Structure 1
Amino acid sequence: MVLGVATVLSWLVPPTSCLAPTTHLDAPPGTHTHQEADTYVSYDELADGTDRFSLTGVKNYTQLVFDPTSYQVVVGARDRVFRLSLVGLQLLETSDWAANKSTVEMCSLKGQSLAACHNFVRVMHIYRDRLLVCGTNAFNPLCTWRRLSDINHIEGWERGLTRCPYDPFVPVTSLLTSEGSLYLGSSLDFSGMDSAFIRSLGPGVTLRTHKYDLKWLSSPKFVKSFEAAGFIYFIFRENAVEYLNCGKRVSSRIGRVCKGDEGGTRVLRSYWTTFLKSQLSCSVPGNVPFHYDYIQDLTYLPKEQVLYGVFSTADNGLMGSAVCLFNMTAVNASFDGPFKYQSDPSSAWEPVTADNNHFRCHKSAGGGRQASLAADKFQLMDQPVLPHTPHPLFLLSSNRLSHMAVDVVGTRQSGSVHIVFVADSGGTVRKLSVVPGPPQIVCLLEVLHPFPHNTSATIHTLKLLKDTNSLYLGTDSEVVRLPVHRCDRYHTRASCLAARDPYCGWDEGRLQCSPPPGRNPFVPTWIQGVIDCPRQEDPVDGGWSGWSSWLPCVQMGSSDSCQCRHRSCGSPRPARGGAQCVGPNTEVANCTVHGGWTSWSSWSQCSATCGIAVKTRRRSCSNPEPRHGGRVCVGQERTEIYCHSLPHCPSYTALPVDGGWSEWGEWSRCSASCGSGIRRRRRTCSRPSPRNGGADCTGCEEDTERCGDWPCPETRRLTSWTSWLAVNSTGQGSTVVQRRFRAECVATGDRDDPLRTGGWRHEERVCQDGWCGDSETSGWSGWGEWSQCDKPCGEGKQIRQRSCDSGSCSGVASLERPCNKQPCVGLWGCWSAWSACSASCGSGRQTRQRTCLSPTHPDPICSGHSISHQSCDNQVCPGEEGWGAWSQWSECSGGGEERSRSRTCLSHKPSQCRGLDIQRESCSQLLHTGEVTVLESVSEDLGSSKIDDGDGDGEGGTVSVQAMVLSCLGCLVLGALLGALATFHVFVRRKRRRVPSSPHYMTAKPNHYVSVPGADWKRKAGGGSQSPNGSLKNGSIKSSLRAAMTSVPLKEFDTATIKRSSHGSYGNGHLRADLDSDTIFNF
């Protein structure tokens, strides 16, 4: 088969005149090829040790940057940046970085697909404690500097031009040096036609390859870049310009520029002056060599100074891949050799030897015009970079490798071994070991399948981190962490040593296959053989893979379903006589089980011993129980039959059931909105209700308590003025000071204290020879009706009033009399439960209490006692067993103050009759006459108080009609005497000589400014007029002021301010107006 393919390929190659190599796919001699069946590791076996991270709607996980000091990996994807933990891939932080709507619309208008008009992260590097992230931003590249510990904190923005490609799908390589210079190889324009290797950022000037010059770059596809010995190397593939005369051919290249390149002065201004490139050759030698011209990935090991590269065939040819090893000595030899130069387009490419010191970055070589001319003339080296070995390290047919990673592992006996991980386009990862020679040995150790069977994943990036011994894969849909070794696959010492895995050895202390303790392969208890390829002649015992996930399956011959999972004997597969795996390869669970009846039980006993009765038997649906959607049993679970030959039952008399109280209900609303009131709660005798002659519940079915005590709004009113009373005299008998009083009445709205008295006010006046300025036409109005009594009980008050219609009136303006003198009778609440007996044996006492309540008075009086006692007899006390029963208590009638009872000793043993033979107790504790045990309604208790009409017996606190009549007559006589005295006093004073000055009215209130009505009022006939200087003529204005102020409604008149003089002399003639300001404003 291989020879036939080689013949076809030989027929397809170009003529020898074009110097095209002859190719074939034969494996090179000495190369170890192995059956992949011996090294296969399935997805199920890898599942337990693999970590995965994905987020719905996020794709293209293309960039991975490690930060081992913070134990994190930063991931760049489409429209997102993530921080994940190194092990477990737990999400630490996410940052949304999508292109804005206008940028996306512009991208679509320019002809790009919606799938490409996103922000794909293509460049990402760590520089000190900052993170450089560049994205395509819907074909408008953009870069940001972010804080490494907080990727949502953006410290700066950069234009993405020359730092990130426009197209998210073109290859790109980038490198950020310790100086802060960014080297980028990719296309730099919207169309993708301008591809270049360019330096930006950092201290140096921006330099790039020559634009649109095929000798510099011809449609390059950049792969990798790295720094070494003052040079920046970059790996790419391009169309080979040296073979253009023979048709199109792709060649793999390694390019180089100096880090200190400052560009040309005139000829190559802003261009590299140290740019060189050479061919990387990876081929199978022979008469007709077969070349792998498409480099896919490359890894540089700086300490070992070697390069591992993955090469493949063309996309439109037969699939094949190879892994080749190069060393830096061969690379430098190529760049130090002759140049390949074409003098004109029609001539052939020929080797040219010229001075290349300038390209070696020697400062002594200088620059200037000669260096620029040399750089413009020479770009391609004549000698290719040949592999370290004549044959590729590894060949793979019928598949194409795309990514690689290399690890260096120290072993116990074989020194440092290189472990090469290569991934193909289907997502399979192969693990190779390269043992340094001579002879050099390359072995295939494992073929890993990190993705489910029959699925493929596009791997965008593959990186290895030595700190965690893990491979990290970035795919189109997720990030995967894969351990580099699986030592626990080998359960015996022999299988562990035969695997020849450089990561694994046998631990004699723990008796298991494991990596070296502390990463030290020279621990004495850790055993490892000489590293070579796994022995093909040794038998390999089979090992089970991990169990697959549970899947639905169907039982044979039935439509009932189960859950099944499988495993395969492929980790490893038994080979060369090795033992097969022990145990089942399939597990079945959760199968549908239909229910089945058990046998009937024996008949039970009859349900009764007389009359009508039945006996039963049972069975259960548990033979087996229905499970996982199975059908339940059909039929009866229980059957009954009548019992025969039972006797008739005797007549039955129901036993009495005593009643029991239910729980108390909710409290009702308080009867008072302010002040104090009462509230009620009820219970019913229904737990249980008394039946069959049982006793009713003892106690009250309704309970009450005080509530409220909220403050009530107050209303204030002033009483009328009292009559004028003489206070003192000047001693001459002609001048008398008189004073009158009035009080402030406050209505609180509280039932307990509805009215109270406020402050007292008074006024004084000076009378000369009996004339005090009273009006000739003064007089009282008639008495008003008596007000309602302010208290329903406990002695309240009634008031009636009259007003002074004109002039100055003598006498009182209001009368007051007591009412409702009967005491406030309260209502008893419910009795509490009886207390425990005071004696644990013999005779004792029990007590209960109740509370006297009244909604209108804080200290009501209730008839009866608040505490009740009763005797209680428990078990007989030791030493009293010989006593007989107590006799009945004697009666308390006949004026007796106590009652007694006795008992008789019935035993002949005195020790059994200890204690008293007679008991006495006071009768006063048993008197409960007139007790009120049921509360009357609050509405009746709060009704208006009635005066006894004389038909009653005078008890209960009511006022008789005779008492009321006598009180009224007494009040009239007293009023007549007071009136006569006042009239005589006024008559005597008026006969004396009047002083020419006006009387002064002085108020005790210190207010100097009072608002008074400013509207005019009609003066009565005979009223005095006021002089301009404030003196009074022929009378007082006091009555007129009061009449005007009381007749004019509030807020319907103008006001003015008159200053009261409290320091002038009595004879100065100034007005001291008596303004009833309190009448206006005190309400």
Structure 2
Amino acid sequence: MARWRWEIHAPVWIFVLLLAFGVNFAHLDAPPGSLLHSQYNQDTFRSVSYNELLDNTDRFSMSGVKSYSELVFDPTNYQIVVGARDGIFRLSLVGLQLLEASDWSSNRSTVETCTWKGQSQEACHNFVRVLHLAHGRIFVCGTNAFSPLCTWRRLSNINHIDSWEKGVARCPFNPTHSVTSLLSSKGNFYVGTTTDFSGRDPAFMRSLGPGERLRTPQSDLKWLSEPTFITSFESDNFVYAIFRENAIENLSCGKHIHSRISRVCKNDGGGTLVLKENWTTFLKARLICSAPGDVPFYYDHVQSVVYLPKEQMLYGVFSTAENSITGSAICAFNMSAVNTSFSGPFKYQPSPSSVWGPEIADNTHFECQDTGMPRREADLAANKFQLMDKPVFPEYPLPLYLLNYERLNHIAVDVVPTRQSGTLHVVFVADSQGVIRKMSLVPERQHTCLLEVLSPFPNNATVSINTLRLLKDTNSLYVGTNDEVIRIPVHRCGQYKSQHSCLAAKDPYCGWDTNLLECSPPPGKNPFVSSWLQEVMDCPRTSDPVDGGWGRWSTWSTCKQEGNSDSCMCRHRACDSPTPARGGNDCNGANTEVTNCTVHGGWTAWSSWSQCSATCGIAVKTRRRTCSNPEPRHGGRVCVGQERTEIYCHSLARCPSYSALPVDGGWSEWSSWGRCSATCGSGIRRRHRSCTKPMPKNGGLPCTGCEEDVETCSNWPCPEASQLSPWTPWLSLNASGNSMVQRRYRVECVATGDKDNPVRAGNMRQEDRLCSHDGRCFDSLYSDSMQNEGWSDWSEWTNCDQPCGGGRQYRHRSCTAGSCSGSALKERSCNENSCRGLWACWSEWSSCSSSCGSGVQHRTRRCVTAHNPFVDAEDCVGPHTMQQQCHEGACIGEEGWGPWALWSSCSGNEERVRERRCMSDQPSQCRGLDLQRQSCDLLDGDITSLEAAVLSTSHGGGGGNGVSVQALVGSSLACLIGGAVLGALVTYHLCVRRRHRRVPSSPHYITAKPNHYVSVPGAEWKAGQSPSSTIRNGSIKSTLKAAITTLPLKDFDTATIKRSSHGSYGNGHLRADLDSDTIFNF
């Protein structure tokens, strides 16, 4: 047992001794320039800080979403599809802008079942672990709270699910279990993962596609022994898988982990009997990555592998065991070495007690060739041999890179064409702390150089990287972590400002453009352009100083001022982009900015005393100061104290006494129009103004004009809705012999929508039928729908569309049966009386005609129709223009004068006068006349004043004792007519006395004119009858006429009104009744 323990731990102890004595892993016979971590210091590579990367890095994250673990590129549509916990996302390749998000959370019952089975709440989510692109669709599988599920979705619309697939044996149950999957070019799906809830049944399987469903046998450790799957790929006729597992061939020495590469044939049809539904071409071989020596040190835990199809190369990251001293190595393998191992002897154990050893056997069956071997023998060979005797050794004797005390876990490789050496392989590896290292490798020279160490995450942040992928189309690295997806450019050529620093960086992506004088990628992706220079054959070992560069500013934060408790807003930056090195200059400028500091207010000095507020009597003078020395800012205290002081002015003379000047009133601005009084039909709206700019003072004149303005609104007609009442019971009209006539009625009720007349009665309909005395009745004799050959009854005449000046009325009927002849619409004229004109409000007074002294200002008004203030009329009585005197202050040369007094009454010499007084204490200052005379022939102002007074009383609504214009004009006309009549009578009397007696007129000569008037029934009759009722036979009509003649008539019922009259009626209802045609049709 002691010997076994030594064999188990011998490599570890050797590694400890080598480290203790400072032994380097490079041997003396190692190729020149081979890279070991201990050979390099800060002078050989460039460290790129988080702040330096921040400007050129794209990031995507979404609240509540974790574990961004699967990435698949779609360069054709310039997008990347990301699988995460409970979600799938489509992002743009550059910028990582969200194109589409699809929520794929597990339902509540599935989550409850998961937790009921003992799993943690964190594990009972849907973690996407399989993601592939094929023919415009994506195949995605998730753990679905330990109930795996797969879907096919459209690539252009990931929310659209084409079909569902079972996820068992295609996706692990547990999100922490490993999985590798491949969707081949023929549509077969290969997957390596655990296939049960407990994770104890690992398998490498084939499903979907045209081939048989195959897998590795269950519970057979010779095939798979607790594997951790890493990756898989296809090449020629084979599908390869890389994983690490317990080394079954070394179990006698204890538990060992070996890295493996396995392969199966694409055309494997499966076995019979023992290997039914199992692989018959499955083989595996060990991958060796070690530090050579007398006792090689093996890095047996493969972490990540990338396959380059064109170069037929494998690059892998290997590490020590979890419980060992941490170390990592990068090794490269050629596929020819892999195929050589699979073509060699097998490693076989004849019995459980035997030692594993080589055995040579025919392996043509495992080469995917049809050798004619019976299937039974093929099954026996497949069941006997799984492990190859010869391991796969790396391409180079030394690892490409060794890293002590760090664990690398992801790798990505790019093949870059260069100007000097054809192509270089650029290797990116990520460690467990989230740091990414960039290296270049010249395959022909076996020469590896560390170029950059990238820190894409903030300092002191430990980030676990789930996946690392490289896309050559965008020259970018895509990193998936638990919290976000990051895109990092593969080069930073623009950071080098000189040709020397650009070429000394030895970056395969960068060169010096002599035309543009800048460090850049090759123009047009052609490194052989003559103006583009590059040197990449050596490592970036330089002694040139590196000047420091400022990183990004931090966010603003609160900071305290020294010496008090006041605060400011501060932000900082570091000189780390890059950090000064090898004697380079520090960054210029401040590393801290301060703003928004608390400032307490301070008083300015007092101003000088102002002039006294008056030149006589009691007055004060003031002085001021402001709180602006400095102004309080950002929470500072305001100034305490008075900002204004005043004192009385002394030794001022007593003011002379005089009466205050009158101030005439002035109108304010019109208010906004009020709400219309009706939503349809005819309504009005109002606006107001007040006599407050200024108010009349000291006996000044009040404002003239209207303080309220009115206009019509809502002139569109109201919609009408009608409803027929139920039929009345049948009523007996008359009886003759064995039969009788019965009649019933129903009325149309019309809702007008007008608030003044919301409801009116419409047509009245009737039906007659003939009944015998034994109770039998026949169909209606006639009904409304059968009148006039299918026409319905005429509707009521519409309201006249104009209240005056001539309008139109309409009525209509509809064809209810058969073909109808005649017109469905009638119209007639109405309200032909002329419209009465009314004065609108006066306009504002115009500007004074004189800029100084006395002048004249005017105002006007419009004559409009009573029903529409926007239509002009011509029959208004009174002037449309008014003028008044105005005073705009003393003109130059007339300083000191007071305003002119009112004009006096006209004297006997037909003139009037006015005067003004000199208001100045120095009479010599007043120049000009103090008295003016004016002829009484120019008294327009008095006449207009009189007219204004008359008009104001006429529009006053009847209030006061004034006389209206209409009354005045009417009285004048009456007097004129009375005088004319009186004169005519006198003249007639004189003529008669002088005339001889004449012969009386013959009775055969009728001198009376025809009577143009008709007797009209009044409104009471109309209300009591149904004007829309029409009866066909003449007897019914004669009965209606008789009924009319027997009604008790009032005085107005027999009034005669000429139908062609155009007079003005004060009562609008009378005109409405007369316009109805029913009163003329009996």
Same fold (TM > 0.5): yes
1:22 shift after superposition: 5.1
Q: Residue 510 in 1 paired to residue 508 in 2?
A: no
1:254 shift after superposition: 0.6
Q: 2:529 aligns with which of 523, 530, 548?
A: 523
Q: Residue 628 in 1 paired to residue 634 in 2?
A: yes
1:259 shift after superposition: 1.0
Q: Residue 345 in 1 paired to residue 352 in 2?
A: yes
1:561 shift after superposition: 3.2
Q: Please say which of residues 513-522 and 458-467 is displaced more in the overlay.
A: 513-522
Tell me: CA distance 1:99–1:278, structure 2 relative to 1, closer, same or farther (3 Å): same
- Provide the TM-score with structure 1 as the length reference: 0.67
Query: Does the CA-based 8 Å contact 1:78-1:118 persist in structure 2?
Result: yes
Distance in 2 (CA, whole Å) between partners of 1:580 and 1:852 is 88
Q: Residue 27 in 1 paired to residue 32 in 2?
A: no
Q: Residue 265 in 1 paired to residue 308 in 2?
A: no
Distance in 1 (CA, whole Å) between partners of 2:574 and 2:345 is 59
1:471 maps to a residue whose letter is L
Q: Residue 283 in 1 paired to residue 295 in 2?
A: no
1:578 shift after superposition: 3.3
Residue of structure 2 in register with 1:790 after alignment: none
Q: 1:832 aligns with which of 842, 846, 863?
A: 842
Residue of structure 1 in register with 2:392 after alignment: 385
Q: Residue 933 in 1 paired to residue 933 in 2?
A: no
2:197 maps to a residue whose letter is F
1:646 shift after superposition: 4.1
Deviation digits for residues 246-267 of structure 1 (CA, Å, limit 9, x no counterpart): 1101111011111111111233
Distance in 2 (CA, whole Å) between partners of 1:869 and 1:540 is 92
Distance in 1 (CA, whole Å) between partners of 2:247 and 2:855 is 126
Q: 2:215 aligns with which of 195, 201, 208?
A: 208
2:842 maps to a residue whose letter is S
Residue of structure 2 in register with 1:455 after alignment: 461
Q: Give the number of the structure whose alpha-carbon radius of gyration is greater.
A: 1
Q: 1:1007 aligns with which of 1032, 1044, 1052?
A: 1032
Query: Does the CA-based 8 Å contact 1:172-1:222 persist in structure 2?
Result: yes
1:712 shift after superposition: 14
Q: Please say which of residues 15-24 and 493-502 is displaced more in the overlay.
A: 15-24
Residue of structure 1 in register with 2:475 after alignment: 469
Residue of structure 2 in register with 1:1018 after alignment: none
- Provide the TM-score with structure 2 as the length reference: 0.67
Q: Please say which of residues 640-649 and 412-421 is displaced more in the overlay.
A: 640-649
Give the secondary-structure state (helix, strand or coil) at the position aligned to 1:104: helix
Deviation digits for residues 168-223 of structure 1 (CA, Å, limit 9, x no counterpart): 11011101011111110110111100001101111101111111100000000000
Residue correspondences, number? 825
Residue of structure 1 in register with 2:6 after alignment: 14
Q: 2:250 aligns with which of 231, 235, 243?
A: 243
Q: Residue 194 in 1 paired to residue 201 in 2?
A: yes
Pairwise CA RMSD of aligned residues? 5.1
The aligned runs of 1:874-913 (5 Å cut-off) are: none
Query: Does the CA-based 8 Å contact 2:337-2:393 persist in structure 1?
Result: yes
Distance in 2 (CA, whole Å) between partners of 1:548 and 1:751 is 73
Give the secondary-structure state (helix, strand or coil) at the position aligned to 1:267: helix
1:545 shift after superposition: 3.2
Residue of structure 1 in register with 2:794 after alignment: none
Distance in 2 (CA, whole Å) between partners of 1:661 and 1:193 is 97
Distance in 1 (CA, whole Å) between partners of 2:103 and 2:564 is 53
The aligned runs of 1:700-849 (5 Å cut-off) are: 700=706, 829=839, 832-833=842-843, 848-849=860-861
Deviation digits for residues 665-695 of structure 1 (CA, Å, limit 9, x no counterpart): 7899999999999998765433322111212
1:28 shift after superposition: 1.6
Residue of structure 2 in register with 1:126 after alignment: 133
Distance in 2 (CA, whole Å) between partners of 1:872 and 1:17 is 122
Query: Does the CA-based 8 Å contact 2:508-2:536 persist in structure 1?
Result: no
2:510 maps to a residue whose letter is C
Query: Does the CA-based 8 Å contact 2:709-2:841 persist in structure 1?
Result: no
Give the secondary-structure state (helix, strand or coil) at the position aligned to 1:106: helix
Distance in 1 (CA, whole Å) between partners of 2:668 and 2:60 is 64
Q: Residue 161 in 1 paired to residue 168 in 2?
A: yes
Query: Does the CA-based 8 Å contact 2:840-2:864 persist in structure 1?
Result: no
Residue of structure 2 in register with 1:1066 after alignment: none
Tell me: CA distance 1:956–1:309, structure 2 relative to 1, closer, same or farther (3 Å): farther
Query: Does the CA-based 8 Å contact 1:358-1:367 persist in structure 2?
Result: no
1:1042 shift after superposition: 9.2
Query: Does the CA-based 8 Å contact 2:839-2:876 persist in structure 1?
Result: no
Tell me: CA distance 1:665–1:414, structure 2 relative to 1, closer, same or farther (3 Å): closer
The percent of aligned pairs where both chains have the same amino acid is 57
Deviation digits for residues 697-748 of structure 1 (CA, Å, limit 9, x no counterpart): 234556677899989999xxxxxxxxxxxxxxxxxxxxxxxxxxxxxxxxx9
Distance in 1 (CA, whole Å) between partners of 2:473 and 2:672 is 72
Residue of structure 2 in register with 1:492 after alignment: 498
1:512 shift after superposition: 2.2
Deviation digits for residues 497-520 of structure 1 (CA, Å, limit 9, x no counterpart): 211111112222332222222222
Query: Does the CA-based 8 Å contact 2:861-2:881 persist in structure 1?
Result: no
Query: Does the CA-based 8 Å contact 1:863-1:932 persist in structure 2?
Result: no
The aligned runs of 1:291-690 (5 Å cut-off) are: 291-364=298-371, 366=373, 368-438=375-445, 440-651=446-657, 653-663=659-669, 684-690=690-696
The gaps in structure 1 that reach 5 residues or longer are 1-9, 715-747, 760-793, 795-822, 876-887, 892-899, 903-915, 941-952, 958-1003, 1013-1036, 1047-1078
Q: 1:106 aligns with which of 102, 107, 113?
A: 113
1:485 shift after superposition: 1.1
Give the secondary-structure state (helix, strand or coil) at the position aligned to 1:55: coil
Tell me: CA distance 1:630–1:926, structure 2 relative to 1, closer, same or farther (3 Å): closer
Query: Does the CA-based 8 Å contact 1:141-1:165 persist in structure 2?
Result: yes
Tell me: CA distance 1:700–1:569, structure 2 relative to 1, closer, same or farther (3 Å): closer
Deviation digits for residues 388-425 of structure 1 (CA, Å, limit 9, x no counterpart): 11111111111111111111111221321111111111
Deviation digits for residues 259-278 of structure 1 (CA, Å, limit 9, x no counterpart): 11111123311111110100
The gaps in structure 2 that reach 5 residues or longer are 28-33, 723-751, 765-803, 805-832, 888-902, 913-934, 961-972, 978-1028, 1048-1077
Distance in 2 (CA, whole Å) between partners of 1:917 and 1:615 is 52
1:576 shift after superposition: 3.2
Q: Please say which of residues 463-472 and 579-588 is displaced more in the overlay.
A: 579-588
1:386 shift after superposition: 0.9
Distance in 1 (CA, whole Å) between partners of 2:295 and 2:339 is 28
Distance in 2 (CA, whole Å) between partners of 1:585 and 1:370 is 78
Deviation digits for residues 525-580 of structure 1 (CA, Å, limit 9, x no counterpart): 22212332111444433333333333433344443333333333333333333333
Distance in 2 (CA, whole Å) between partners of 1:666 and 1:564 is 52
Q: Please say which of residues 602-611 and 277-286 is displaced more in the overlay.
A: 602-611
Distance in 2 (CA, whole Å) between partners of 1:658 and 1:352 is 128
Query: Does the CA-based 8 Å contact 2:281-2:382 persist in structure 1?
Result: yes
Give the secondary-structure state (helix, strand or coil) at the position aligned to 2:131: strand
1:366 shift after superposition: 4.7
Distance in 2 (CA, whole Å) between partners of 1:40 and 1:751 is 89
1:831 shift after superposition: 5.6
